Amino acid sequence: MVQEGQVYVVTGGSGFLGAHLVRMLVERSPNISEIRVFDLHVDESLATLSNERVKIHLIRGDISSFSDVRSALRGSHLVIHTASLVDVWGRVPASKVTEVNVTGTENVLRACEEEGIQYLVYTSSMEVVGPNLHGDPFYRGNEDTEYTVFHNQPYPLSKSRAESLILEANGRKTKDGKTLYTCALRPTGIYGEGHQLMKQFYQQGLRMGRRVFRAIAPSTEHGRVYVGNVAWMHVLAALRLQDQPSKLGGQVYFCYDNSPYKSYEDFNMEFLSSCGFRMVGSRPLVPYVLLYLFALLNAFLQWLLRPLCTYAPILNPYTLSVASTTFTVQTDKAKRHFGYQPLYKWDECKRRTVSWVQTLEESGKER
């Protein structure tokens, strides 16, 4: 039986996923009386979600500061740890990525142990697994599918280390003798309202005359997942982790829905086409070997210019490998363990995302 009047902490609660998750918790978790939104930059608009049943408290703090984390977690019942620095372009130093993603996770675990918090749900990433730099496809795989994991970039390395810390902590005793239970969710590529990378693709397409030049073979497939369904899976996992800690504790779950398997370019066009964007080319306009040479050149320029400025284009060897490698998941583990089914069907996910993209169009016209 899940205790009533609970206090949840959402780290990174003002981020893309975090903000959607806070709204989902308010709407669909009647056992909560307080949600603490912990973030370095808080979204003041989230405070308006407070109502008679549940109060939203915004807490500005640094995930890499143990004192900040412990203060935010004190007296809470469950933590959903979404705070993460996502950077696959080299926009921030590798040390900062590690500090946020690994040290921040260590701080959350230590605070749980010190404060006697028993339940922790972690937002991991599919990039813990892949695509790997060898370009090996992962076709409709699940959590038990064998796959050679090979990374050399700070982001996937840091998320892999953080996930391991979370799972290793399951069953650990807190200072007051309670047991800590943890689980991790691995979303595939998240999309939806407020997705900043989609906004970048939109702006880039505008500069190119509303044209998207095909760079990746349309036969390449990726698993994408709507942000509302990711938030919903977190809500369900948080509830069931308390009901059946021995089943969910120490487990990892791929997080996906029924969004169509397509290349990143073709998937993005599902939304951008609503604003008059068109794809140029039925096959890649530039041979892969030339794209790879461009990616290497960008990596070299990034290294060369680092003392002077931050040069971080979207295309680099890692992002090219991810975009050009099929990586799709198909698993029923989350359904079997805690009854997950997508809350939003594909038509609704598309409609909501298209509506948001069209607001970018309207704001552009106003300027």
d(CA 106, CA 122): 12
Within 8 A by CB and 6+ apart from 260, the residues are: 224, 267, 270, 346
Q: Which single residue is written with the structure tokens 């993603």?
A: 101
Count of Cβ atoms closer than 10 Å to residue 175 Cβ: 10
| Active centre residues (catalytic) | 155
SS (H, E, C) 205-235: HHHCCCEEECCCCCCCCECEEEHHHHHHHHH
What angle is formed at CA 112 by the lines to CA 109 and CA 114, rounded to 5 degrees? 110
Residue type, position 364, single letter = G
Residue type, position 65, single letter = S
Tokens coding 256: 């996906």
Cβ contact 350:271 at 8 Å: yes
Tokens coding 248: 């969910």
d(CA 105, CA 131): 23
Cβ contact 78:238 at 8 Å: yes
Cβ contact 59:66 at 8 Å: no
Tokens coding 332: 């029923």
